[in-house]
């Protein structure tokens, strides 16, 4: 019985010695930048895993916003700021929350991209206008072709039935812009997409004149 107790005490002493040596090595001998958290130590003392640092002093950080029009605006690109250096992925998410649409991408070469997608248009495309159809009427939409989220106005005196058949069909194609072939997209852009209100109004005047003439059915 005494012999058995002696073996148990010896085993416990050995485990404690290994744990102590491991802790001492990780804490005092390994430089901070190179310290891995020992899996052995975690198992021995039940310590939860520590998130790996993803933003280090030499990390390049890019912060960008992806807009509904397809454009991407880079808000910042450069060495990690003091506030971000040394943070783990979890800590970065506390600042750039997924609930706010942020995503973290760790790229090769020491680059971390913080990106978010928004439903708005970029500043440039917010000035764009395009023609389309709303309730079988000619309508003006905000933004470039392919973005049909906001109707700015409906031309009540220009129902599709009053427009030439070929023109009406092109307007319907414009409403399904994303599925059109590249040559068709190019043609639709030339005819129905405008980078300013002035260009839009010029086009509407031309359509109005065309509408006053004999309809081509």
The pTM (predicted TM-score) of the whole model is 0.66
CA atoms of 135 and 138, how far apart (whole Å): 8
* Pairwise CA distance, residues 36 & 171, whole Å: 62
Instruction: Kindly report, residue by residue over 14-41, the tens digit of the pLDDT.
Output: 555 555 555 545 444 444 444 444 344 4
> For the chain, what percent of residues have pLDDT higher than 70?
74
Question: Which residues lie across from 170 on neighbouring strands?
Answer: none
State which residues of the chain have pLDDT below 50. 6, 24, 26-49, 215-217
DSSP E strands: which ranges in the chain? Answer: 60-66, 72-79, 102-107, 111-117, 129-134, 137-142, 151-159, 193-194
From 3.10.20, 3.40.50, 3.40.1440, 2.40.50, which CATH number describes the 60-117 domain?
3.10.20
d(C-alpha 159, C-alpha 139), whole Å: 9
């Amino acid at each position: 019985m005494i012999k058995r107790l002696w073996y148990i005490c010896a085993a416990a002493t050995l485990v404690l010695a290994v744990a102590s040596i491991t802790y001492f090595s990780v804490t005092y001998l390994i430089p901070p930048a190179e310290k891995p958290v020992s899996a052995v130590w975690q198992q021995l003392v039940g310590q939860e895993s520590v998130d790996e640092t993803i933003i280090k002093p030499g990390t390049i950080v890019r912060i960008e916003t992806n807009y509904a029009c397809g454009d991407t605006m880079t808000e910042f690109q450069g060495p990690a700021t003091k506030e971000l250096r040394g943070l783990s992925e979890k800590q970065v998410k506390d600042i750039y929350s997924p609930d706010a649409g942020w995503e973290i991408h760790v790229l090769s070469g020491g680059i971390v991209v913080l990106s978010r997608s928004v439903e708005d248009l970029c500043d440039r495309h917010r000035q764009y206008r395009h023609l389309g159809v709303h309730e079988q009427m000619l309508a003006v939409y905000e933004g470039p072709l392919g973005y049909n989220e906001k109707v700015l106005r409906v031309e009540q005196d220009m129902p599709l039935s009053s427009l030439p058949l070929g023109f009406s069909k092109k307007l319907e194609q414009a409403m399904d812009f994303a599925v059109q072939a590249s040559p068709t997209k190019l043609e639709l852009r030339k005819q129905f997409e405008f980078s300013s209100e002035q260009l839009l109004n010029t086009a509407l005047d031309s359509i109005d004149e065309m509408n006053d003439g004999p309809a081509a059915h």
